[in-house]
Structure 1
Amino acid sequence: MTQSHIIHTDFSKISAQQLKTLLRSPNANFFQTPKVADFFKTTGLEHFVFAIERDEEIMALISGIIQKEKGVKSSLTRRAIIFGGPVFSENATDEDITQVLEHTVKTLKKKAIYIELRNLNDYSKYKHLFEKCGFDYVPHLNFHLDCSDDQAMRKRMSSSKLRQVKKSLKTGAEIKEATHQDEITAYYNILHHLYTTKVKTPLPDLDFFMNMWKEKAAKFLLIHYQNEIIGGIVCPILENQVIYEWFVCGKDGQYKNVYPSILATWAAMEYASTHQIPRFDFMGAGKPDEDYGVRDFKSKFGGELVEHGRFLYVAQPLLYQLGKTAVKILKSTS
């Protein structure tokens, strides 16, 4: 690191004005903010942040968590996840970005089997710098939905999905923001069933969601019908810029003319339109070379299909391959 660079490993060392300036960058995202760091700390997860300062400006910031499964699986599942991807100032030089990437690798490679940056914005012009620092690009799709014009948003949506939204509301389903922890529990039970029976990937425990709600780290927009919660969506928000679909679920197919997962997705779109949030980010639509039913579902809401991919650094190749094999076996036998 050159003498002109300062590295920060705590958000408290970064001023509010420095953060405000950085978060005007095109690749800013909610998951690289102090609010998320504060929330993750309440969950007991190990959180990290690396920020490069030059000339009193934050030029690059990477923030994330170390995740691992409980019990014997922990040794095969230690990974560093950077949700959303890093934030780079428009004034950042190649040297600034290389510095933060090299520091990230140096610090995390003994703690994690791999480091994964789950990009929600376009980092294509920085790809050569990631590769220089040992990261591989992995194609991954997503949808970005323009919510700046309500009428245009409705027109882009498939007629069948819009019709199902209208039917659900006419039948008596309602969209309400969560106001009590019992509602979070009811929502989580639906989500847990979905992950256990269909998704078959690890899901954080109830305390994770309860802390998220208590810390106001995200909006919980829930679907109510006949005095019961039948679905919902968890939506973090980057103020005045983006609303995200982090977790969504519903008791689909159980009620005539009520489509809770569709209505939950609509709830986020409507919230964005009503609160002047210009973009809805679906946070992933699978790998382009693999069939993915969720991608088909998400495509019906009128968003633009984008490929911003992921960047992957494998620190321990043998354990990485063992872990991938173990996950495949777990999914096939569950």
Structure 2
Amino acid sequence: MEFRDYYKILGVDKSATADEIKKAYRKQARKYHPDVSKEPDAEKRMQEVNEANEVLSDAEKRAAYDQLGSRYQAGQEFQPPPDWGSGFEFSGRDFGGAGGDYSDFFANLFGRGGAAAGGPFRSAAGQGGYQMRGEDRHARILIDLADAYHGAVRTISLQAPVADESGRIVVREHSLKVQIPRGVKEGQHIRLASKGSPGIGGGPAGDLFLELSFRPDVRYRVDGRDVFTSLPVTPWEAALGASIETPTPSGPLQLKVPAGSQSGRKLRLKGRGIPAPAGQDAGDLYVLLEVVLPPADSDAARHLYQEMARELAFDPRRQNGQAKGV
């Protein structure tokens, strides 16, 4: 996917103020608006200008875009990192904008309507209708999978992008202590009452909603409350059976590997996935066996392999019905 330089599209510096961005947008709109422009690609260019303005004219989107752009190297294939948008606090208003066509780049970051299905920007649901009440705020935070198993108290840092008096974007950081309940799932929200924007004229503050995502972990894959992991085993453990101490998010446990297991066999540990609230079923833990062969990197090892070849006379291709030599 191609990275879009919104500053270049509008013709402004990265340090441009809100007023400078507004003026640049109006200039580009006069040049490329299809109703008045003589340019052959006016419609396409106008879509690009609208998209750039949608991001750069919004303090929150712009701050997130700037953070993402700082990681991008020219010429690279662009792909948002897994932790994209985590720790950014944004207001509860809808990011849908005025509609229109958006690029794949924009859709991957903010969603077609400005609120990404899996990204940091989502339209708020359930905002208070009282006009003096402060806006709700939203943020996505990363937690460890073990936190969902045991529960935890975590201190998190959130960044709230705002425009200063000159119109430049300033990111203000603040910390909160958060109780992570046992049994939370990916995508679940924690509501912190009165931690949103302050009310107007003495009205009550809005709420802060934290959307939970699991920090990437090469050992585990999560689907709902089910957790999947791989376990390397030796050929003799797979062939003869064994009891192996296995690490899990809830702590090590003894796993019984049945005799005659093959690589790819999936063992289900019922109820060992993410816990659930009372009245609901906990998830399961699935362990995928991976038979790992010892290397033939010594005379003794090669001798053992040669002896196995003679004594066992094992041919997996013939067992599968495949003729020898085919």
Same fold (TM over 0.5): no
Q: Which has the higher helix share?
A: 1
Shorter-normalised TM range: under 0.3
Structure 1-normalised TM-score? 0.27
Q: Under a length normalisation based on structure 2, what TM-score does the superposition of the two structures give?
A: 0.28
Larger Rg belongs to: 2
